[in-house]
Structure 1
């Protein structure tokens, strides 16, 4: 009766935590999260390939391709990004193709190549992280509740 509720509870908690992270994330952090998701999905596929779990491997690779195509690739602005965006678009297309071929032919090397490319891109993306805006720093400031504060006309 209670045996199946534990995994569900853990999954529900994980889902809520993930959704909260997405809502609170900056656009830059969202890209990092996409990289992380794709890296994990490829890692799962590699493990499933080794265990000969064909269906699970296919789902993991499909998930990675979806993140690359519908997340990373779709977020590119080719008009503003110029040559860099065009090169990234071609690289994302290459990665999706390599994942598909790796899945079809059970080639771990293709999956490892994509995983390494994703890690390199993620590390580069993290290295160019924008500084925290002043408004976020101010939002993080918590005044001392025991100190007198000024009142405003519109406060209740």
Structure 2
């Protein structure tokens, strides 16, 4: 935690509390939200020619997708759906890497759109008790 910046420290503590209190569904929702925010920030930094900040935001999004969302998949028991999501997450990671390397906002937009669709579907499953029982 960054003690030199009280606002950042407060924000970080707030996220930690949310994560500790969240359901497994809520944790995945938080990962989607974090990845989407990081991509949105990366695009803003790209438009402002802030190379370091852009790279940091893209790296954060890559970490969330690659180490968070992919790690949450159960490839042994999840069947075709888990395998398809794994491939999609890998694709998004590759698009983010290319976006960073080539300064390509269109690739950020594509990655954002794909994750946003998944996030919306995931949130719908969480609000529909019948769908949650089938998942």
Aligned with 1:23 (options 5, 17, 20): 20
Task: State the Cα RMSD in Å.
Answer: 1.3
- TM-score (normalizing by structure 2): 0.90
1:97-156 CA-to-partner distances (Å, cap 9, x unmatched) read 00000111111000001011111100000111164xxxxxxxxxxxxxxxxxxxxxxxxx
> Which is helix-richer, 1 or 2?
2
Report the alpha carbon displacement of residue 79 of structure 1 after superposing the two structures with TM. 1.0
Does 1:91 find its partner at 2:88?
Answer: yes
Matches within 5 A, 1:61-140: 61-129=58-126, 131=129
How far 1:11 moved relative to its partner?
A: 1.1
Query: Equivalents in 1 of 2:38, 2:104: separation in Å?
Result: 16
Equivalent residue for 2:6, pick from 2, 6, 9: 9
CA distance in 1, matches of 2:61, 2:13: 21
Aligned length: 126
Q: Render the CA deviation track for 1:45-71: whole Å, top value 9, x for unaligned.
A: 000000001111111101100000100
Alignment-derived partner of residue 145 in structure 1: none
C-alpha distance in structure 2 between counterparts of 1:96 and 1:54, whole Å = 19
Q: Which residue of 1 aligns with 2:47?
A: 50
Q: Which structure is larger by alpha-carbon Rg, 1 or 2?
A: 1
Corresponding position of 1:37: 34
TM-score normalised by L of structure 1: 0.78
Query: How far apart in 1 are the matches of 2:13 and 2:52?
Result: 27
Structure 2 Cα separation of the partners of residues 120 and 87 of structure 1: 14
